[in-house]
Every structure is written in C-alpha cells, then in structure tokens.
Amino acid sequence: MQLRYGTNPQQTAASAAPVRAGAWPLRVLGGEPSYINLLDALSGWQLVREAAGALGRPAAASFKHVSPAGAALAGPLDAATAALYRTDPGAGALTSAYVRARDADPKSSYGDFAAVSHPVDAELADLLGHVVSDGVIAPGFEPGTVAALRRKKKGAFLVVEADPDFVAPPQEERELHGLRLTQARDDVPLHAGLLDDVVCGGPLPASAAEDLLLGLAVVRYTQSNSVCYVRDGATLGIGAGQQSRVDCTRLAGAKAALWWLRRHPAVRTLDFLPSVRRQERVNWQVRFIEGDMTADERARFGRALAAPADGLGADERRAWAAGLTSVAFASDGALPFRDNVDHAARHGVRWIAEPGGSIRSGDVADACREHGITLVHTRLRLFRH
C-alpha cells in the first residue's frame, strides 16, 4: 500500500505491507492514509478492542500523534458534553463512547483519528460528519455509512475497516538507523485479576475496578512515560511522553482540572455569538479557565461574546475543584516517589493502579494512606515506545 507520505511530507517514499503475505489487519475504504494516520489507526484500534473486550462495553478513542487524547466506554453524556456536541444525552452506545472520549481533551482532539470497537452506525457517522477529524477505524460499517463518510473533506476523510479476527505475529520488529530490533509482542491480557494485590485501602468498588482497567488499556497504548485519570468510564486527563513521571502526573492532572472547570456555571454560561464555531468555543473556554490571556486574546474573546463574561476567581476555582471526586489513576510504570500521589490527590483521585516494585514503594503506599487512596500493585509494566 502506497502512503500519502511518511512521518513528514518530505518523506515521500512511504508504503505499508503486511508482515505475513496477504494477512492485512485493515482495509482502507476511503481516503489515502499517511504514515502517522496508520500508526494512529492501528494503535487506536488495539486500545478500543482491548478495552471493550476487558470491560464488555463499546469503547472509543480519540488519537493524536500516536497517543490518545481521550478514551471512554459507552455511558451517559452529562449536560456540558451533550450541549457542546449538540448530541442527545441518551445517544447510542457507540456515539456516547466517542463523544465522551473526545470531550476529555477537545482542544487536542481537533483533527483526531477516531477509533471505535463496534461497527459505525448512522448516528456516529452523522456526528463524525460535523466534527474536525481526519479519519475513523472500526471493525465494520453499517449500510450507507461509508458513502456518507467518504463525502467528508471532499473525499479525503479516511475510512478504515479493522479485521476483528486478525491475530498479530508473536514477534515485533522495528528498524532504526540501520539496526533491526526484535522483541516478543506484549500480549498479556488485561483482566480484573491484575487488581487483586491491594496494598492499602480497599476493597475496590466495581466501578473503580472498571475505571482502573480502562486506565491500564489507555496507558498501554500511550507513549511512555504515561498516566491517566479516569472517572465513570471516561478519561479526564492523559499525560504522555514525559521523561519525568511526576511531570506526566501534573500534566494529566491539569487536564483533569480543566475538564472539571469546563462544567463550572461561569464557563457553561459564556454567551458566544452564533457565528462562533464549536472548536472556537472550546478554545475560548480553555483560555478563559487558564486565565492568562494576552491583550490581543482578551480583545478577540470580547468580540466572540454576545455579553460580557463573569469572572472566575481563585476562591471559586478552589471551591469547584473540591467537588471532583471518585477519580481513578493508572500508571504505565512504577511510581518512583510519593509526589505523584500528592499531585493526584489534588484532583479527586481515590484509587491508583501501578506496577509497584520501586525502591520507594513504601513511601508511595504511606502517601496513599495519608490521602485515603486505595493503592493496587498490578506487577505489570506497560511501557510503549
């Protein structure tokens, strides 16, 4: 398969071929993929297939630059999410999963690659037609949906069908600077038994166990170091690709706090002019919450509003932040210091799953006890590079 280009447009000699002759894991039904498109599609498909298989519910992910911006299981849409995407709160399972995934970080999900665990139906196809997205991968498409999706972006929207029965080879290879690296595929299944080693706190509520399993699926397909915050079957914040784990924890925590503040009445009632598009509204909500607009941004923000915005003071922010609770936290590697727990606790974390085995795991456990957090050791590292 010839690709549009490689990682960058100047890398024109790009192609894809199956490892085993004739054994393709996917089919391109519309559009022409690039190298990164296929990386996002294949990673996203593996994540949603594994999450749906482990938890028995439809799953979706919104991928950008080889890491998920968000991932979620099917579930009810809250008022803020339904309003932003102009979606019925009782939307179908697959649509709800994707909307919840995209809403985790809607700024980053701009131009995403969507992945869903079940065949695309008419409702989801209609939604994809109205958001800025580069493509979708699914194990099938209901009648009429491929034709509808092919009309998006003047035919450039990527429609990719995954083979749900495809089994990857037991070994993986990668070439880098003339060197071929080979390793066994990481195919250890994710299951509830990984959460049996409760170090402190507990027992785990069923909902917390589901959130932790979803979190483990997410970090497994996120560039390491990675952590994620999960609540009610949806990610609130994902930290990816940081050299320091605590930086991941703080980055993902900031995203979780932003997700929660987007539900504050002062943000929900921002009165935008009808001409302001959905993504512009998202971006302005984020900048309003962050509170450090430049002079030029303040002027443009004012022109985007039909009525002046009420302020959001520090005391209001702190009071609202205290309302975020029942959050689960998953890490792809051992927490090396207690600072990760201290930062996670600021964002309502009550359950943590991490491999354990650090020389300071005792300090981490002590921090969890201080904050009333249940700590689980999975004994399973899930690095991805």
- Write down the pLDDT at residue 312: 86
Tell me what the mean pLDDT of segment 202-228 comes to: 96
Q: Helices 295-304 and 278-290, interaxial angle, to 10°? A: 130
- Write down the pLDDT at residue 268: 92
| Rounded-to-integer distance, Cα 97 and Cα 105, Å | 14
Does residue 13 surpass a pLDDT of 90? no
Tell me what the mean pLDDT of segment 113-132 comes to: 96
What is the tens place of the pLDDT at every residue in 227-272? 999 999 999 999 999 999 999 999 999 999 999 999 999 999 999 9
Tell me what the mean pLDDT of segment 337-366 comes to: 96
Look at 35-44, 227-236, 267-276, 304-313 and tell me which has the smallest mean pLDDT.
Answer: 304-313
Does residue 47 surpass a pLDDT of 90? yes
The answer to whether the CB of 97 falls within 8 A of the CB of 75 is: yes
- What amino acid occupies position 352? I
Tell me what the mean pLDDT of segment 334-343 comes to: 96
Catalytic residues: 64-65, 225, 385
- Write down the pLDDT at residue 157: 96
Prior bond to 340 cis, omega within 30?
Answer: no
Share of the chain above pLDDT 90, in %: 92
- Write down the pLDDT at residue 347: 97
Q: Helices 314-321 and 245-261, interaxial angle, to 10°? A: 100
Which pLDDT band holds residue 344 (cuts at 50, 70, 90)? very high
Please, what is the average pLDDT of the chain?
95
The answer to whether the CB of 160 falls within 8 A of the CB of 27 is: yes
Q: Which two tokens stand for residue 328?
A: 């689960």
| Rounded-to-integer distance, Cα 309 and Cα 335, Å | 41
Per DSSP (E only), the strands in 74-211 are 112-116, 133-138, 158-162, 171-176, 179-184, 198-200
Q: 62-85 as b/e, with b when 16 or more CB fall inside 10 Å?
A: bbbebbbbbbbbbbebeebbbebb
- Write down the pLDDT at residue 258: 95
Find residue 15's DSSP bridge partners. 2
Q: Helices 278-290 and 245-261, interaxial angle, to 10°? A: 110
Tell me what the mean pLDDT of segment 278-292 comes to: 92
Per-residue CA distances from 206 to 9, 195, 302, 351 (Å): 47, 11, 46, 12
383 class by beta-carbon count within 10 Å (0-12 exposed, 13-18 middle, 19+ buried): middle
Q: Which residue has the tokens 């080889």?
A: 66
- Write down the pLDDT at residue 311: 81
**How big is the CA angle at 318 (ends 314 and 320), to the nearest 5 degrees?**
115
The answer to whether the CB of 351 falls within 8 A of the CB of 212 is: yes
Which residues fall within 8 angstroms of residue 303, CB to CB, at 6 or more apart?
A: none
The answer to whether the CB of 1 falls within 8 A of the CB of 17 is: yes
Tell me what the mean pLDDT of segment 271-280 comes to: 93
- Write down the pLDDT at residue 31: 95
Q: Which two tokens stand for residue 30?
A: 């519309």
What is the tens place of the pLDDT at every residue in 56-103? 999 999 999 999 999 999 999 999 999 888 888 889 999 999 999 999
Nearest to 331 by CA among 259, 208, 248: 248
Dihedral (Cα; 226, 190, 372, 246), 10-degree rounding:
-10
Nearest to 222 by CA among 43, 36, 42, 37: 43
